[in-house]
Chains A and B, each alone.
Chain A
Amino acid sequence: MARRSQGTKLHLAVLCLVVSCHAIGLSDLMERASQRSDQLPVLGMFSFSLDSHFPPMGRVMMPRPSMCHTSSLQTPKDKEQALRVSENELISLARSLLLAWNDPLLLLSSEAPTLPHPSNGDISSKIRELQDYSKSLGDGLDILVNKMGPSSQYISSIPFKGGDLGNDKTSRLINFHFLMSCFRRDSHKIDSFLKVLRCRATKMRPETC
């Protein structure tokens, strides 16, 4: 994390020098971040096309959403709570969540081509797209936190312990689906937090909110 923030700091410094310190405003950064985060749930929705191919028993055996690896992270549960959260915390939460999915996405992308599903090729490409979006959003958020100050740079580390998806076909499918559902929710969270943050940061343009 520290290395990463230092890297982005250097990157930003170089950028500043190059463009004569014409940095992008915070609101623009937020705008871009929220536009980027807006794509994550859309891509995450794709996994739900798998529903039709699940064996009936799969539903029963589906792990509960509370078993998502990111459930340990405390996030606001409703609007009042969310609006009470500070901006620093909001950005921290968003970044934490985003970071927490780097490893699982790696796993998913490696497992997707061999998934026993008729459209595993499409799924595989979507996963790759997800990874790209995640990465670019993460980089943008890093730049953002540099502007916001040091207190916003705290990131919670959420380990991912899932080794693989399973051995047999059914469990692989089920676990894959489960992971995708967890990602879908977390992508929604990230998007919501950033949009709330955007509205709060751009007090000069209330019409956008």
Chain B
Amino acid sequence: MMWRDVGVTLILSLILPVVAQGARHTPPGKPKLTSCRSPDKETFTCWWEAGSDGGRPTTYSLFYHKENSETVYECPDYHTAGANSCFFNKNETSIWVNYNITVVATNALGNNFSDPVDVDVVYIVQPHTPENVTVGVLEDEDGPFLRVSWEPPRKADTRSGWITLIYELRVKLEEAEEWEEHRAGQQKMFNIFSLHSGGVYMVQVRCKPDHGFWSEWSTASYVKVPDYIPRERSMWILIAVFSAFIFLILTWIITLNRSSVKHCLLPPVPGPKIKGFDQQLLKKGKPEEVFNSLVVQSFPPRSTDYEDLLVEYLEVYVNEKQELMPEGKDLRDVGCLKSKSQSDNDSGRGSCDSHTLLMEKCGGVESKDESSYEEPELLQGQAGSWERLERGDSQVVDTPDSSDARVKTWPLVFSPSIHGSSDNHHYGTLEMPKQHSTSEITYSVPDHLFPTSTSFPHHHHPEYRDSLGEYSEYRHSRSPSTGVLYHWEAQHHPQAHSNFNIRNLERQKEATGLGLPPSRSMEYVEVQKVNQENQLVLKPLSSHGRGPSQVQFGRAVVDYSKVNGVNNDNVLLLQRQREMAEAGQYCDYREKEGAEAERYPTQQQGKTTKDGPVATQLQESTCLTTSGYVDTVPTMPTF
């Protein structure tokens, strides 16, 4: 008994699962239409997927009805298109008609309907892939290229215009990863250029109706490009042209800046030059014009010109017989003129340095005393330019400056400065050009300044002051009996320059020309003092009722030397008083320019031939028999 129960239990346990399995059979699951496609707008196919089959063999059927009728039809062809598909042939296919399609799954236990789907064939067109894709390599002057050609899929009727297809192809090197796609439109042929020589290319084509889906890509076609030398010449040509262009531009730029480049690489060596010196004129052989041009330009010097001015020294004569009273401020410099001219510019002009000469003469001059004569230096200006220093009340003369501790010689710019002024001044101011450091300078201020025959470019103010700063004070010292002129001592001031401006006493009408009217009326001017502003205060002699030859002790007496004129050689013809008194002889003082700046032993009292070395030249010159007073003015070489 027990064995039977066990057996039944065993059998039941074996049977039950089977039975249970049978009990799980259900109606099929719901099928689902996946897609419908038409390759040619004439037929179409629908595919579905099955749901669960419910454990039983399930059959699927498709039913449809068109939009206008209620008649339900079943799928005519289940096999042509494969499993789970329904193929509608031409006869059953209508265009521009909605199909309502439903799939039914049926098994023994029941059936299941899918959701209906509306399909209009005209919207589901997807052609087959293009056929007969051929790829060939053709040669061109630029190199080889690919020519791809194909044909439309067989089923698509493009000839009648029922379907319009557009094509697309893609190409890549075999080893490349990215495809290169090209739209070909409705044409059935396409060219591909710029190939890699020796490469293997893959080509694929697909198509699409005007309103529809893209087809699948055709199978790849392989093609090998033969080896060829790529045309890179054009690139090199471009590079060459571009480089040439750059090179030309650089050359042009360098050419434009040629001078500055040369200047940078080969800095110019300064050479001697004389300011205002015109070589061309010299070549022409007209020295007068040359000198004239020298004179004209900037004489008397303005403040800016001072650096370029030749430093002229006035030789100061110390007459042991006389003692000159120092006046004014303290003088640092010895009475002896120790000015040394310095060439300021590279013109090579040395100062008229007759230093030795001076030292001889100065000998035992006390530092404080200024017993030195000043000899007027010939003003080298224009030949024959004279200025007259007319009397003037309270002439203010600017003192020359010494930029350094010592006063330099100042080229007295008598003639040019005076003449330059356009106003009819009666006053003349002795204009001293700016000087660099020099020792003390003594000047003789003649009564008459040399009127310049040529007008100077610069104008002179009634009171010229140098704003730069250094002023030198000048003391007039009593001139010895021989008529030492003013003795100026330049006192060093840390200011810039002061200038003596000798104004044009008389306006010269002639703009150019050399030579002076030989006879002029002259007046004497006495320098009274140097005022605070380092200006020479002049006083006409007549007001003091002193004669030119009066020398007063302890007073600021001045002796004047008369300038007779300027000869053609730009030599100031000075007339010594004494000699004048003696119905004298005149000596010319000539001042030389430039390096030879000589001191001019000026008048010495009692000397008859005082001209001395200087006079050697002077003797040649003619002496004018006038009663002009010469103011020793260191000429300015550069005007």
Contacts and interface: CB of A to CB of B under 8 A. Distances in A.
B84 interface: no
B90 interface: yes
Interface stretch (B128-136, B153-161, B217-225, B300-308): B153-161
Contact of B160 (A64, A75, A83, A189): A83
A196 B160 contact: yes
B186 A208 contact: yes
A78 B95 contact: yes
Contacts of A82: 95, 162
Contact of A78 (B94, B98, B186): B94
A188 interface: yes
Contact of B67 (A38, A66, A188): A66
B67 to A, nearest CB: 5
B415 to A, nearest CB: 94
Given A41-B211, A208-B186, A65 B98 contact: yes
B67 A64 contact: yes
B406 interface: no
A42 B210 CA distance: 10
B159 A66 contact: no
Contacts of B211: 41-42, 188, 191
A185 B120 contact: yes
B42 A198 contact: no
Contacts of B210: 38, 191, 195
Contact of A75 (B90, B96, B157): B96
A185 B95 CA distance: 10
A64 B69 CA distance: 11
A196 B161 contact: yes
Nearest to B159: A209
Nearest to A206: B159
A197 B164 CA distance: 12
A88 interface: no
A196 to B, nearest CB: 4
Given A78-B90, A195-B164, A209 B158 contact: yes
A66 B96 contact: no
B186 A185 contact: no
Contacts of A107: none
A199 B122 contact: no
Interface residues of B, number: 25
Nearest to B211: A41
Chain B contact residues: over half helix, strand or loop, or mixed?
Answer: loop
A79 B162 contact: yes
A22 interface: no
Nearest to B122: A188
Interface residues of A, number: 29
A161 interface: no
B122 A77 contact: no
A79 B157 contact: yes
A199 B160 contact: yes
Contact of B161 (A77, A78, A200): A200
A77 B95 contact: yes
B114 to A, nearest CB: 15
Contacts of A120: none
Interface string A39-74: 001100000000000000000000011100000000
Interface in A70-110: 75-80, 82-83
B67, B159, B162, most chain A CB atoms within 10 A: B162
B122 A65 contact: no
Contact of B93 (A78, A188, A196): A78
A42 B123 CA distance: 12
Interface in A108-135: none
A185 B122 contact: yes
Interface string B116-160: 000010110000000000000000000000000000000001111
Contacts of B93: 78
B97 interface: yes
B278 to A, nearest CB: 81
A146 interface: no
A12 B157 CA distance: 35
Interface string A170-209: 0000000000000001001101100111111000001111
A188 B41 CA distance: 12
Contacts of A198: 161
B94, B98, B211, most chain A CB atoms within 10 A: B211
B161 A209 contact: yes
B395 to A, nearest CB: 99
A54 B185 CA distance: 37
Contacts of A42: 211
Contacts of B122: 185, 188, 192
Contacts of B186: 208
Contacts of A79: 41-42, 90, 95, 157, 160, 162
Nearest to B95: A78
Contacts of B96: 75, 77, 185, 188-189
B364 to A, nearest CB: 117
A48 to B, nearest CB: 10
A77 B122 CA distance: 11
Contacts of A191: 210-211
Contacts of A76: 95
B76 to A, nearest CB: 15
Interface string B92-116: 0111111000000000000000000
Nearest to A209: B161
B234 interface: no
Contacts of A78: 42, 90, 93-95
A200 B159 CA distance: 9
B68 interface: yes
B42 A195 contact: no
Nearest to A67: B67
A80 B160 CA distance: 11
Nearest to B188: A207
A159 to B, nearest CB: 20
B95 A195 contact: no
Nearest to A185: B96
A18 to B, nearest CB: 33
Given A65-B67, A66-B68, A185-B120, A199 B95 contact: no
B90, B157, B164, most chain A CB atoms within 10 A: B164
B152 to A, nearest CB: 11
Nearest to A81: B95
Contacts of B42: 78-79
22 contacts: A42-B211, A64-B67, A66-B67, A77-B95, A78-B94, A79-B42, A79-B95, A79-B162, A82-B162, A83-B160, A188-B96, A188-B122, A188-B211, A192-B122, A195-B162, A195-B164, A198-B161, A199-B159, A208-B186, A209-B158, A209-B159, A209-B161
Interface of B: 41-42, 67-68, 90, 93-98, 120, 122-123, 157-162, 164, 186, 188, 210-211
Given A79-B162, A196-B161, A196-B162, 4 more contacts: A64-B67, A197-B161, A198-B161, A209-B164
Interface of A: 38, 41-42, 64-66, 75-80, 82-83, 185, 188-189, 191-192, 195-200, 206-209
